């Protein structure tokens, strides 16, 4: 009897741990801007003719090896940068703050799951940039993207209207992008961005179709909520805002942002570079962007100069450098001449 009870307890514990693991995996999958790369069906191995058994086994081994390498590459893909469309319309941010406060009033624990108003954005593309060199390649890809976007928009402004609330698996709450003529150009820009970055050799994209959304809360920000029984966002918390019009955002900038670096003082993500879309403020330059780009140019120039100095110093200090080689060649030539004279 006791052993039977122990087995039941063990099974319940395993089931609970499995549920916790699945929930954790769900959080990481839907926790934007984090995402995973496109994954195709890698388990389907093409049939090999059995005429030559040895060749068949060899091909099967090569195929499995290629699959293993591909799986490892995809497993190692952890996006740490993303293209962001910042939300700057105060009407939208004010409406989201009212929504957040309404939810918190119904459950104060959810305050820790809210996104700060300085971080509101639309994620256009996620990617992995592992070092400074790849970040610079990403910046170059972003700059190359601008004329493509201008061609897509044909001189028109891209205005994004936000209306209503939805969730990803009741784990991430977001404000929906309303339907309209703005959807197609936005999707085209996202696809063009993905292609532009991938052509540069950058791992970019995710395993699901692009669904533009404006996140205002996510339970994964406060994992301890699950232990307190909060496993889902209750639809009743936001039912009054289900059709609410939050306002329109005129897209004027696309930023290359880091997911991991320290955020700016205003709560927005660390930004490596930006491109300006359209003529916001009558074409006046963005001072913050000019300062940011100038700073990066100076940093890159200093870094390049230091690297060049270190390489030159190392080359000079290496034994058997160019000068010693020339001296050895001269000595050899002299010896050969003496031998010829003898």
| 289, part of any domain | no
Which tokens belong to 330?
Answer: 């001269």
Domain that holds residue 222: 77-279
Per DSSP, helices labelled H in the chain are 2-30, 53-75, 90-106, 132-153, 183-199, 224-227, 287-317, 322-341
Number of domains in the chain: 1
Tell which residue, 251, 268, 271, has the closest CA to residue 139.
Answer: 271
The CATH number assigned to the domain holding 258 equals 3.90.1140.10
| 85, part of any domain | yes
Contact 142, 124 (CB under 8 A): no
| 290, part of any domain | no
Which tokens belong to 153?
Answer: 């928009």
| 41, part of any domain | no
| 12, part of any domain | no
**CA 70 – CA 42 distance, rounded (Å):** 8
Element (H, E) at 177: strand 172-177
CA distances from 123 to 28, 35, 59, 210, 319 (A): 16, 11, 41, 9, 53
| 59, part of any domain | no
| 84, part of any domain | yes
Contact 104, 237 (CB under 8 A): no
Q: What is the pLDDT along the chain (342 residues), one digit of tens a residue?
A: 445 555 554 555 455 455 444 444 444 443 444 433 332 333 333 333 444 555 555 556 656 665 555 555 556 789 999 999 999 999 999 999 999 999 999 999 999 999 998 999 999 999 999 999 999 999 999 999 999 999 999 999 999 999 999 999 999 999 999 999 999 999 999 999 999 999 999 999 877 788 999 999 999 999 999 888 899 999 999 999 999 999 999 999 999 999 999 999 999 999 999 999 976 443 444 555 555 556 666 666 666 677 677 777 777 765 554 444 444 454 555 555 444 444
| 178, part of any domain | yes
């Amino acid at each position: 009897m006791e052993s039977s009870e122990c087995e039941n307890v063990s099974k319940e514990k395993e089931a609970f741990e499995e549920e916790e693991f699945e929930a954790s995996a769900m959080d990481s999958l839907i926790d934007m801007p984090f995402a995973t790369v496109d994954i195709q069906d890698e388990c389907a191995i093409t049939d090999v003719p059995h005429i030559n058994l040895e060749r068949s086994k060899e091909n099967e081994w090569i195929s499995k090896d290629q699959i293993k390498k591909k799986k490892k590459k995809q497993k190692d893909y952890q996006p740490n940068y993303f293209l962001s469309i910042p939300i700057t319309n105060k009407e939208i941010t004010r409406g989201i703050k009212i929504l957040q406060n309404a939810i918190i009033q119904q459950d104060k624990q959810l305050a820790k799951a809210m996104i700060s108003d300085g971080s509101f954005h639309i994620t256009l593309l996620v990617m992995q940039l592992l070092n400074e060199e790849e970040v610079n390649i990403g910046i170059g890809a972003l700059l190359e993207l601008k004329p493509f976007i201008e061609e897509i928009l044909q001189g028109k402004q891209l205005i994004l209207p936000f209306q209503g609330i939805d969730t990803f698996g009741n784990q991430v709450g977001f404000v929906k992008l309303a339907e309209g003529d703005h959807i197609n150009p936005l999707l085209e820009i996202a696809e063009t961005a993905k292609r532009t970055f991938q052509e540069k050799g950058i791992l970019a994209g995710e395993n699901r179709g692009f669904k533009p959304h404006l996140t205002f809360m996510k339970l994964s920000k406060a994992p301890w909520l699950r232990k307190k029984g909060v496993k889902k966002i209750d639809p009743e918390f936001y039912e009054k805002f289900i059709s609410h019009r939050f306002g329109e955002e005129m897209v004027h900038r696309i930023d290359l942002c880091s997911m991991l670096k320290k955020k700016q003082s205003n709560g927005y993500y660390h930004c490596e570079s930006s491109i300006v879309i359209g003529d916001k403020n009558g074409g006046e330059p963005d001072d913050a962007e000019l300062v940011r780009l100038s700073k990066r140019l100076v940093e890159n120039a200093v870094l390049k100069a230091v690297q060049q100095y270190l390489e030159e110093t190392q080359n000079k200090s290496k034994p058997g450098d160019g000068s010693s080689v020339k001296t050895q060649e001269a000595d050899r030539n002299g010896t050969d001449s003496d031998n010829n004279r003898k």
